[in-house]
Amino acid sequence: MPSVATGANLANRELTYIGISGDGDTASIGLGQFAHVVRRNLNMTYIVENNGCYGLTKGQDSATMDTGAKNKKGDINLYSPIDLARLAIEIGATFVGRSFSGDKQQLVPLIKAAISHRGFAC
């Protein structure tokens, strides 16, 4: 998703770019891509739907899963989690927010603010 958003941004800077990704894709498989769209301050809103696991491939722990948490199979996670919001701030994101999908009152204005931000928002 970050590669496609980068290419599309080069072709047309006038559009509003919103990308949705998972925590597996963002904190593991696509961590390099995430870091570099933050670093380049790509004009987009990058939303991570963080459920702590690889939902599509049967619920294995992702890199954001809490230490000591039990996955679907009953395995305990031994590793410390990557905090994506903290990482984004550390590498220079100009807008970072975190909310809960069950809290629309907080989430809707947060996403609106992220979309109206010029530059990278996640």
Per CB under 6 A, contacts with ligand TPP among 71-110 are none
The least CB distance from residue 18 to ligand TPP, in Å, is: 16
* Closest of 48, 119, 41 to residue 82, by C-alpha: 48
The β-bridge partners of 47 are 20
Per CB under 6 A, contacts with ligand TPP among 11-40 are 22-25, 29
Task: Indicate the length of the chain as a whole number.
Answer: 122
Task: Determine if 61 is a binding residue for ligand TPP (CB under 6 A).
Answer: no
The least CB distance from residue 118 to ligand TPP, in Å, is: 27
Which CB, 23 or 120, lies closer to ligand TPP?
A: 23
80: DSSP letter: P
Count of alpha carbons within 13 angstroms of residue 48, beta-carbon side: 27
Distance (Å, whole) CA 28 – CA 26: 6
Residue nearest ligand TPP by beta-carbon distance: 22
Distance (Å, whole) CA 75 – CA 73: 6
Task: Determine if 57 is a binding residue for ligand TPP (CB under 6 A).
Answer: yes
The least CB distance from residue 2 to ligand TPP, in Å, is: 13
Give the footprint of ligand TPP on this chain (CB under 6 A): 22-25, 29, 49, 51, 53-57, 62
